[in-house]
Each structure stands twice: as C-alpha cells, then as structure tokens.
Structure 1
Amino acid sequence: MPVLSAPRPTPGTGQVITDSAATAQAGPRSQQGRAGELSWSGRAARQLVLRQLDQLPHAWIAWHEAGETTLLGQGHRVAGELIVEDPRFFAHVLMHGSVGFGEAFVDRWWTTPDLLNLLRTLAGSTPSSSRGSWWGRAIGWAPKQLLRWARQNTRAGSRRNISAHYDLSNEFFAAFLDPTMTYSSGLFESDGATLHDASLAKYERICRRLDLQSDDHVVEIGCGWGGFAEYAAANYGCRVTGVTISREQLAYAQQRIERAGLSERVDLRFCDYRDLTGKYDKLVSIEMIEAVGRRFLPQFFAKCSELLQPHGQMMLQAITIPDQRFDAYCRNVDFIQKHVFPGGCLPSLGAIQTAVGERTDLRLLETVDFAEDYARTLVAWRERFHGAAERIAELGFDERFMRLWDYYLCYCAAGFYERQIGLAHQHFAKPAAR
C-alpha cells in the first residue's frame, strides 16, 4: 500500500491533506462524493460516519473523497485506504452499520486498493466486549428479528438455507476450491504447503486423533462433496456413512466415490442429521455446526452422543465466536448471515460446552485453535477465485456477485487474522473410550 507523503497530522483530528503528492497517490476518486453536493441529511450522515471512523485506535485510514485525502483514526501509521465513489454510501452505512458497509462495497459506492488490509484494520478496532463495535449495531431491531425467525434451522428451514449457498453449482465451487473440493479450512503444516496439501493434512489430523481403524464405522454429519469420506475410506479402510442436505453436493460426492471404487465402503445420503439412526464407532463433523443454529445446539450434540457406541469418539471442526460476544452476535444479523449463509450462526466454545454438558455424556479431550490457517485458506481461495473470474462469469455469475464474494472472503479472512472469530478442532469421547 502506498505511504502518503504528507505532513503527519495530530492523531484523531481527521486532518485533511492538501499535499499534492498525497493527492497524486490517492488514486481515482468520484466527484459525486463531494460533501457540498450532499443534501442536509446526507451531510449529517457523512459527518457522523467520519466522526466514528476517526475514533479507530492504533491506525489511520486514508479517506479519499472528491480530490481530498483525510487521515482518520487515532494511530500513527496509514493502515488502510477507502475511496468514496457515491454519496449514498454515508446514509446506508449510518442506517445499516457493518452490513451496510459491505453492501455499499458490493454496489461500488466505495472502493479500496487493498480490501483485505482495510477490513483487517476495521476488524482490529472491534472491542472484545459484548457490545461490539459502533458499526456492528444498526438501526432496525424488528427487521433483523424477522429475518432470523424466517431463517430458523428447522428441517425445512435448514434445507432452504443450505440450498441457497451450496447449490449455487458444483462448477462454481470447483473453480476456486482445491482438487479435494474441500470447503473448510485446511491445516498448513509448513510455509510451502499448498491448499491441496492443507486439505489433506486436515483430514489426516482428524483420522489420527480418532485413531481410525479399518473395522471402524464412521458417520460424517455434513459430508459436503465427499472429500473426507473418500480420504478416510481410501487411506484407513474404514466404512463411512455421510449425510448432506444439498442435492448438488450429494450428486457430486456419490459420483466421486463411485469413480474412486469405494462404493462398498462409503454410503452417502440426503438426510437431515436429526433423522440419522444406528450406532457408529466414530463421528466427524467438519464446519457443519455453523448451520445448526443456537436454538438447536443441544439437540445436535444429543444426536451426536446418541449415534456413538459406548466406546465412540467424535471430532468437531467449528468456526467460533468469542464467548463474551456470543449473546450480542446472536441478537443481530451480520453481512454473512444476510447475504452468504442464511441461517448461519457461529457457536462459542462456551455454548458448545454447555450443550455437551447438559445433553450428553461426552468428555472433551482436546481443543486446538488454528484460526491463522483459516485466514491462509481464505486468501488462497480468493486468489483462485480471481484467477477463475472468466470461468465463473461463463457460469452466469455477474460482477455484483463477484464483488459480494470478494467481500465475503476478505471479511472472513480479516476476522480470523484479527481473532474476531476462531477455528477449533474439538475431540470428544464417550465414557468407555480408551
């Protein structure tokens, strides 16, 4: 990112830079953003947004608007750049907070030369308290609650929510995922590890933690495109029963298992986890719990415990929200929940442990956090996503969709880098497991 060659302002003053070198480096700006062209309400919204951004700790944001550059924040270095392209940006952000900020990017009302860096700067300013950041709180309590109610993860609701994301098309996901079609974080064991290496390393860690044996019968809740089922059956000789409620995923996964010659050992089904029956030696669920919902967490873990043999073990991979922000998070709807994962809800580690303790006899053996690996996974996905832009466009996805997904990938990566969200492997065991 270019460093602005301008006089150092007093932190937090929102000082306007008039230095010609700074203006030259600021990049293209739209004249629509000029404050003087705004209505009275628009000017008021602009002032409130700038005032709030000027409270950012630790760093400045270089704010480019109508030929002028303003440094906003309380820091001592430029850590992000934002270029206002349309004055509608201000009222939309004021009314809709962080969701509106993302929507304004999708609509190209603002741009930036480095989206990930800017979002990291903003994520790094979010306090760890339950109140969260100013821009995470938006006007409109009732509409948010109605949206949450409409997207509850009942059996029918879960099918709708999953289909809205995972049934975009297998060709779309294949354009940016690695050859294993793994749509969850990898485990990077070295600096030189590829995305494909990381996916396989993640599967291997899960198998080893479970001490997987050839005579084991494994149930996988949320089998996706069949990557783990194929890996476990091919490398450990076990039987795998996997379930998904995405028709697109199931069709792809069944075909890959047949091509791999594993049909006798792997049984993949269209089935809600709540309808599973039988007993299994091991249970795996990789980033499916985010689609369960807070209300259904106790039911999810009760079903997991019910499915396991007395000696059974379980490996869970979960994206988590800090405990101190969980309640506030559950009362709101963020950009991802509104536009990417309808019905999504990140659990906290505390919420998981409460549900496990209240409804099961499972023992927690180990928790491993590897959030940095998810940030790296998302960066790799984003690079592949941009590299496949023409292919994705040929599938019928327009520029607005591309910007939405670019924002989604950067938004999540920023959250992991700045530890606003976590990633955990949790190993559970039934009482008779040794």
Structure 2
Amino acid sequence: MGMLRFQSQAGTDQMSALDRLARRFVLRTLARFPVGRLQLVEPDGNRLLIGEGHPAAALRILDWRAYRMLFTGGALGAGEGWMEELWDSDDLVGVVRFFAANIEPMQALEGGAARMLQPLRSMLHSFNRNSITGSRRNIAAHYDLGNDFFRLFLDPTMMYSSAIYAREDMTLEEAALHKLDVICRKLQLGPDNHLLEIGTGWGGLALHAARHYGCRVTTTTISAEQYAYACARVSEAGLADRVTVLDQDYRQLTGRYDRIVSVEMIEAVGHQYLPGYFARLNDLLTDDGLLLLQAITIPDQRYHYALRQVDFIKRYIFPGGFLPSLRVICSGLGRHTRLQPEQVDDIGLDYARTLADWRSRFLAARQQVAALGFDERFRRMWDYYLCYCEGAFREGAISTVQLLAAGPARRGRPAAQG
C-alpha cells in the first residue's frame, strides 16, 4: 500500500470548494497505489511524496484545477490537464510509467465524477464506428494532418510503426529498415510472390519488398494524403510495374494473394468488425499462403474494460482506435479463417525505443511544427501521446506482436527466421 507524506502544509484556502474536494479524492486515491513513488509540487510550493520504490516520478501542479480534471476525467482528464498546462513534468514518460505500474488501482480514479461522465463519452465515441464511411473519416482525422508534419519526426522511409532494434547502437532509420527485412524474411518473399498489404502507410514496406525481394505488391490505404504520397514514391522509384497502390477499404478488396501483410492496421478495425476483417483475410489468402500481422496489443484481462473506456488516444489521436489482445487475434483466426498461427514475436520494448526516437525528433522540430500552423496545445497533445505510449510499453501495459499464420497447404513447412 502506498504512503502519503506532506513535506509542507498546503494553502488549500486558495482553492475553490470543488478543487478542495477533488484534491482530497485524488490524493486519497494516489495514497492507495502500491507501486512506485510520486513527488508532487503544488502551486503554493507545497511538496507531497506518495509511495516509495520504483518507478519514481515527479510532477508540478501548476493550477489547482488539475485536481478537478483528474476528479472529473480520470486518466483522460490527466491528459487534458497536460494539454491545458495545468501540470507539467521534466520526465513525462516517468509519470506515465508510475500510473501504468498501478493500472488496476488507477481505475479508482475513474470512480469519482469521471464515472458519471463516462456514459456520455462512450455515447459520443460510438459515432466513430469503423464502417466503410466511418473508417475514412477516422483515418483522415489522424493521418491527413499532412505528410509534412509526419516527415518531421519519422525516419526517411516514413515508417509509422514499431522499428526493431537488433543492436543497441542502431539508429531509428537502421531499425526501421531492419524491421522491414524481418517482415519480408518471415513471409519468405521472392519474385514469384504477390504480396497484399492492407494499410499502405506512406509506401515504405511496399517499396522495400518490391525493390529488395522482387515480389509484386498490391497495397491499399483509405488515407487521401498517404495514397497521393505513396503513388508519387512508387512512380519516382520506377516500380510502377511491380507496385500497385489502391484507394480501397479492406472490405472492398478482391482477388487472391499468396502473401498478406498488415502492419498496425488492425487497431483501426474495431471490435465489432473483427469477424469480417478475419473473414476477408481468409478469402484473400491462397491455401499455401502466409499472413503476417503486426499489432499493438493489450493484456486479455483488460481487453473488455478498455473497450468500454474512452481514453486519451481514442479522444484525441485515433477516433476509431482500439487495441486487440493476442487471445482475441488468435480466436479470430481460429473462428473465421482456415489459417494456423505459426510464430509470435513480442517487440513491445522495441516500440518504446521507437517512440523515444520519434519524440526526440518531434521536440527538436518545435519551430517547424509551429510553422505548419500547429499551436502549443497541439504540440503538448502530441508530446503527451508519444510519452503516454512509450510509458505504457515500458511498463507492459500494452505491447506489440508480430504474428505469422499459414494457410492449410503450408502446414509443416519450416518457418523462415526473421
């Protein structure tokens, strides 16, 4: 059980009655956190030390209303308070890690006034369903921020998914290219293969597979910005004879392919559409084919709880986003396909490092972000997003897997080494 120690007396007479109530609730809840240590510095200079041990974190309450945001919004309120500059920290990832390490008792923060507002948030979020038209709207809300924006912090291949760091001294670009090779080798790609990619991104994987492994590639996206960018890259690379870029929803795809890859796209499918997604993969893959999914996952014990919550990512970053569990993915493959999972590799800590590299580049590009027309609130929102994800990966609150599955005619054949 955590401990709460006051290092000086708070001047709570400066606070509104609501803020005093909120502060009392939040501090009482934090005192029950069993893991780690958190130091709070309040607006009047009062210092509080909560808990002991690791992970350790420190934050500054800049405005008493920060407690109100936590009381009425829970974890989402914490993110909104950061965006509004009601609190700050020199180690935002450390703060996220502290809360992620206490993820079960953290749910008590959702039990204050936040619980009364959750049904309203859930109702509003229900309008973000990933139907064919809804998916385009949800994807546009994130990816159509503009290619120039994403270029500021992604590596030159424009890979917006976890890299794989084979060595400690690998750069972001080297790790991104290594990830592409890992995928292509697991799929055993060669000139005789036709690869379907569901979720083009900015075309990095499609170009890499065609250029270095000689296969044909059909890749599809529903982002207008990404479609235009990928088409231009294919043309510039002189690979139009081998790479076809489509502007189509996965539900509208036809044909048969002996290789399918989908990198961190399943998070945009949505829980209620998973059966149709897996059934579509089944129809599109040949009997002797291979499928590789790279997916951000949540522990199965928290899957259904997370479905009911509208967190910071769903509210501000990915309107139609959700995280599957590995069990949900394997169950979907078992129920709706004839495919058999053959290999699963966890790369969650690689994603934490990828996010740290993205954040370093993002923070270094502060002036360029402003020049693109994004204000300080947006910059803090994205900083929080990157730290929120990195901290969650480092504490194991979420992870990322690469899952390789085979069609019935391939079973028993040796798997390629990534």
TM (norm. structure 1) is 0.91
Which aligned pairs between 1:83-232 and structure 2 lie closer than 5 A? 83-127=60-104, 133-136=107-110, 138-139=114-115, 140-232=117-209
Q: CA deviation at 1:185?
A: 0.3
Q: Is the 8 A contact 1:89 1:110 kept in 2?
A: yes
CA distance in 1, matches of 2:282, 2:176: 27
State the percentage of identical aligned residues. 45
Superposition misfits of 4+ residues, deviation over 3 angstroms? none
Q: Is the 8 A contact 1:126 1:132 kept in 2?
A: yes
Moved more, 112-121 or 183-192: 112-121
Asked if residue 70 in structure 1 is aligned to residue 48 in structure 2, the reply is: yes
Q: Which whole-Å deviations, capped at 9, do the CAs of 1:353-402 have from their partners, x for residues lacking one?
A: 12111111010001111100000000000000001111111000111000
Q: Is the 8 A contact 1:62 1:78 kept in 2?
A: no
CA distance in 2, matches of 1:306, 1:132: 42
Q: Which whole-Å deviations, capped at 9, do the CAs of 1:291-345 have from their partners, x for residues lacking one?
A: 0000011111110111011111100000001000001010111110000000100
Q: CA deviation at 1:49?
A: 0.6
Q: CA deviation at 1:58?
A: 2.8
Amino acid at match of 2:371: E
Who is 2:281 aligned against?
304
Who is 1:60 aligned against?
37
Amino acid at match of 1:72: I
CA distance in 2, matches of 1:274, 1:148: 22
Q: Is the 8 A contact 2:118 2:310 kept in 1?
A: no
Q: Which whole-Å deviations, capped at 9, do the CAs of 1:15-66 have from their partners, x for residues lacking one?
A: 22249xxxxxxxxxxxxx9421112222111111111112222322111011
Who is 2:5 aligned against?
15
Q: Which whole-Å deviations, capped at 9, do the CAs of 1:204-250 have from their partners, x for residues lacking one?
A: 11111111111111000001100000000000111000000000001
Moved more, 229-238 or 59-68: 59-68
Q: Is the 8 A contact 1:207 1:232 kept in 2?
A: yes
Q: Is the 8 A contact 2:294 2:403 kept in 1?
A: yes
Q: Which among 253, 257, 260 is matched to residue 283 of structure 1?
A: 260
Amino acid at match of 1:15: R
CA distance in 1, matches of 2:279, 2:366: 43
Q: Is the 8 A contact 1:132 1:325 kept in 2?
A: no
Q: Is the 8 A contact 2:202 2:229 kept in 1?
A: yes
Asked if residue 367 in structure 1 is aligned to residue 344 in structure 2, the reply is: yes
CA distance in 2, matches of 1:61, 1:197: 36
CA distance 1:156–1:70, shift in 2 (3 Å): same
Who is 2:357 aligned against?
380
Who is 1:426 aligned against?
403
Partner SS, residue 288 of structure 2: strand
Amino acid at match of 2:77: G
Partner SS, residue 4 of structure 2: coil
Amino acid at match of 2:229: Y
Q: CA deviation at 1:350?
A: 1.1
CA distance in 2, matches of 1:136, 1:403: 23
Partner SS, residue 342 of structure 2: strand
Q: CA deviation at 1:77?
A: 6.2
Q: CA deviation at 1:126?
A: 1.3
Moved more, 215-224 or 86-95: 86-95
CA distance in 2, matches of 1:50, 1:165: 35
CA RMSD of aligned residues (A): 1.5
Q: CA deviation at 1:136?
A: 4.7
CA distance 1:327–1:241, shift in 2 (3 Å): same
Question: Which consecutive residues of structure 1, in runs of 5 or more, have no partner in the other structure?
Answer: 1-10, 20-32
CA distance in 2, matches of 1:326, 1:205: 28
Partner SS, residue 408 of structure 2: coil
Partner SS, residue 133 of structure 1: helix
TM (norm. structure 2) is 0.95
CA distance in 1, matches of 2:153, 2:118: 36
CA distance 1:254–1:136, shift in 2 (3 Å): farther
Partner SS, residue 218 of structure 1: strand
Partner SS, residue 158 of structure 2: coil
CA distance in 2, matches of 1:315, 1:106: 37
CA distance in 2, matches of 1:34, 1:303: 61
Q: Which among 6, 13, 19 is matched to residue 36 of structure 1?
A: 13
Q: Which among 296, 305, 330 is matched to residue 353 of structure 1?
A: 330
CA distance in 2, matches of 1:166, 1:144: 23
Asked if residue 401 in structure 1 is aligned to residue 391 in structure 2, the reply is: no
